Amino acid sequence: MQSSRSDKHPVSGTRSGKKVPSSRFSRLVSLGGLASRLAGNIAVEGSKKVAQGHRPRINELLLTPNNVKKVADKLATMRGAAMKVGQLISMDAGTMLPPELSAVFDRLRSDGEVMPATQLISVLEKNWGADWQSRFTQFSFKPIAAASIGQVHSAVCQDGRHIALKIQYPGVRESIDSDIANVVMLLRLSGFIPKSLDIEPLITEAKEQLKAESDYWVEGEHLESVRHKLESYPRRDELITPLYYPDQSSRDILAMSFEFGEPLEQSLANAPQRHQIMELIFDLFFTELFDFGLVQTDPNLANYLYQPDTQKLVLLDFGAVRSYTPDFVRDYWSAIEAAVEEDEEQLAAALGKLGFFNTSAAVANKPIILAIFMLAVEPLRCEGMYSFGSSNIALRIHELGMSISKDPDAWHTPPPDVLFLHRKMAGLYLMAARLDTQVNVRSIFLKTQRQMNL
């Protein structure tokens, strides 16, 4: 077999290999060491402040650039649940967290460190045996991508198929519960998470979501389901979805057809077609939710590629695909319609059905929640093109969210189905802004409205 260290796609958002802690004990020790270093840094910084005649607050000592960097570095090195819980907390509570910690979680959404070759080979041997190389005529040891629970490699099978192999970091699946418990404890003790913020429903869902995402047989099934659904999508010819190869897959390794393309941010920077591609992504989202009831809930620029020669969008990563019931879809559509029409009474009724106001504290915050929801659908009310690049919608939503955070006891975490859907919507807005696009989202809304009312 010939090994190759050159790839068609550059590694993006990754750094040189560091061994992933693979046992529960080593992962716990890793976090414990971080806690000790944070405590030491706090003592040093506190002594400096006192010597200068100041009486510092604990948050001032915790949220130093040095401490924030240590937390980000540790979570990025551990990957798995350690990274995922940070991503999910920021998804739900981003408006309530200090900007320094939000920056940490922003990095975790796109950054990862690759496994050293020795650890990679141990994973391959565990799944395929010592003669794993006999499966391929070519295998690239340099990953083309790295994320929270795995990294992707290029290979050529003996039968000539060029495949992409997503290979899971060791210890991720076995350490999910302990990882999440340890990370939450660390963030609680460090003061990074407000004491009054109830994240238990979120943590429970994070465990279940990560367990599903760490089973690559399940992701393969998701990929097959999405491919089947897309057969009826009117714009399917504008998309490329990888083929799933179960004969080369396992719980730890996902094999797909290798699809060539360029990263969106690289290929579409200032390109006129970026507006059409972003419009396609929005259109696909509306179809996923209101037609398929099957949504890829992790919108990230790294989950797409663009082929300039065919002008097609390549879809990647199906681990976070989530199913929605017809009842949920109907209630959520009612909420969107009411928000677009700025009908507070109907919006409150729809959100109530979705579980937004299950506590007296949440009811006390109802006006702010309604205002945030109505603001979030601003692009759907805009006649013509909505300029995401010049919009300050994220800032305005943040400011409304901060008015809730001033009364932490009144915060209520929405149901998981809503939470992951909002993760998708917020991610799409961020992508559209990052690419500086203008999209007629209202035309997509009106088309969906006609279909929903049939």
**Per-residue pLDDT tens for 303-347?**
899 999 999 999 998 988 999 999 999 999 999 999 999 999 999
Burial of 352 (0-12, 13-18, 19+ CB in 10 A): middle
Do 319 and 188 share a domain, yes or no?
Answer: no
Residues taking part in catalysis: 298
Residue 236 lies in a domain: no
Residue 53 belongs to a domain: yes
Regarding whether 290 and 381 lie in a shared domain, the answer is yes
pLDDT for 66-124, tens place per residue? 656 666 565 655 555 655 665 555 544 444 445 555 555 555 554 556 788 899 999 99
Q: What is the pLDDT of residue 223?
A: 96
pLDDT for the residue 239 = 98
**By the 8 A CB rule, do 171 and 81 touch?**
no
Does 190 lie in the same domain as 65?
A: yes
Contacts of residue 116, Cβ cutoff 8 Å, sequence gap at least 6: 17, 18, 19
- Please state the length of the chain: 454
Q: Any idea what DSSP says for residue 20? A: P
Q: The tokens 């997509």 sit on which residue?
A: 444
Tell whether 139 is covered by a domain. Answer: no
| Cα distance between residue 346 and residue 337, in whole Å | 9
Angstrom distance (rounded) from CA 260 to CA 240: 10
The answer as to whether 1 is a domain residue is: no
Within the chain, which residues score under 70 in pLDDT?
1-113, 186-199, 358-364, 402-413, 454
Instruction: Examine the domain organization and report whether 279 and 370 are in the same domain.
Output: yes
Q: Which residue has the tokens 């990862």?
A: 112
Could you list the residue range(s) of the whole structural domain that residue 398 is in?
Answer: 261-454
Is residue 380 a contact partner of residue 445, using CB atoms and an 8 Å limit?
Answer: yes
Q: What pLDDT score does 269 carry? A: 85
In a domain, 244, yes or no: no
* C-alpha to C-alpha distance for 197 and 194, rounded to whole angstroms: 5
pTM listed for this prediction: 0.79
Count Cα atoms within 13 angstroms, Cβ side, for 425.
21
Structural domains in the chain (count): 2
Q: Where are the beta strands (DSSP E) in 248-347?
A: 253-257, 262-263, 294-296, 304-307, 312-315, 321-323
Of 153, 182, 212, the last residue of a domain is 212
DSSP letter (8 states) at residue 407: S
What is the SS3 assignment for 142-158?
A: CCCEECCCEEEEEEEEC
End residue of a domain, out of 150, 182, 212: 212
Q: Is residue 140 part of a domain?
A: no
Place of tokens 């620029």: 301
Write the single-letter amino acid at 345.
Answer: E
**Residue 50: CA atoms inside 13 Å, Cβ hemisphere, count?**
7
Q: Do both 302 and 359 map to the same domain?
A: yes
Q: Is 150 part of any domain?
A: no
The pLDDT value given to residue 419: 81
Q: Tell me the CA distances in angstroms from 61 to 3, 31, 349, 393, 440, one per residue in order.
A: 49, 19, 44, 32, 46
In a domain, 190, yes or no: yes
